[in-house]
Amino acid sequence: KNQVEQSPQSLIILEGKNCTLQCNYTVSPFSNLRWYKQDTGRGPVSLTIMTFSENTKSNGRYTATLDADTKQSSLHITASQLSDSASYICVVRSGYSSASKIIFGSGTRLSIRP
Amino acid sequence: GAGVSQSPSNKVTEKGKDVELRCDPISGHTALYWYRQRLGQGLEFLIYFQGNSAPDKSGLPSDRFSAERTGESVSTLTIQRTQQEDSAVYLCASSSMTGRSPLHFGNGTRLTVT
């Protein structure tokens, strides 16, 4: 069964600290993995995409990793800011066309405290 | 417009009434998706359109839910005889043809059934 599991479910850290969010997936065939950020009251927005051949990709203070062998991904946030408070959703696509299955994790709710 | 537009942004309705939710995708995006997000929960897939056909309706929770799309443009999600359990945010997303393309989400319609 295709599944995407995220941990922790929620996380509270102090402003300026780093954190790492985890995503484990059992999706086959694997095409790509995206991390989305969802601010309260808004739709999710894509942060980064990881494909089978990519191990690490950075987008500003966000760094995503992918281990295709163990089927794990992480999202590391450096020097957190209050605006990083949001839900972070791991999404795995199975297949290569727009008709391919898209499997969502249930998200990690991150709160940054001043 | 530059993004996916959904209307209304908020809808309060009485139990038993019908509601219609609208989504205007990004121009040129052939794929369109509807999701439901209950308070504090992850995204739940409802239906996928490719052009104006719906090859995957597997997420529609009951026959009270239906959706249509005209051309490669506007989509409407209709909920008949609304129930309190239908209260949620309904999110629409669109994407272009390739499996590498991100989903572009609207900000959703918050539906409250009283």
Per-residue pLDDT tens digits for A45-89? 999 999 988 899 999 999 999 999 999 999 999 999 999 999 999
Mutate to test the interface with A, among B48, B91, B103, B109 (most CBs of A within 10 A): B103
CA gap B39, B47 in Å, rounded: 20
Instruction: Provide, as residue numbers in chain A, all residues whose Cβ is less than 8 Å from the Cβ of B106.
Output: 43
B1: pLDDT strictly greater than 60: no
Q: Which residue does chain A place closest to B5, by CA atoms?
A: A43
CA gap B67, B56 in Å, rounded: 11
B57: pLDDT strictly greater than 70: yes
Query: DSSP class of residue B19?
Result: E
For residue A7, the distance in angstroms to the closest alpha carbon of chain B comes to 13
Hey, are the CB atoms on B41 and A106 less than 8 Å from each other?
yes
B103: left (phi over 0), alpha (psi -120 to 50) or beta: beta
Amino acid in the structure at residue B25: P
Hey, are the CB atoms on B48 and A99 less than 8 Å from each other?
yes
> What's the mean pLDDT when you consider all of chain A?
94
A60: left (phi over 0), alpha (psi -120 to 50) or beta: left
Candidates A34, A36, A42; nearest CB to B107 = A42
pLDDT value of residue A98: 66
Higher local confidence (pLDDT), B71 or B93: B93
Instruction: Provide, as residue numbers in chain B, all residues whose Cβ is less than 8 Å from the Cβ of A89.
Output: 42-43
Continuous segment of H or E residues that includes residue B102:
none
Q: For the residues of B83-97, what is the DSSP string, one character each?
A: -GGG-EEEEEEEE-S
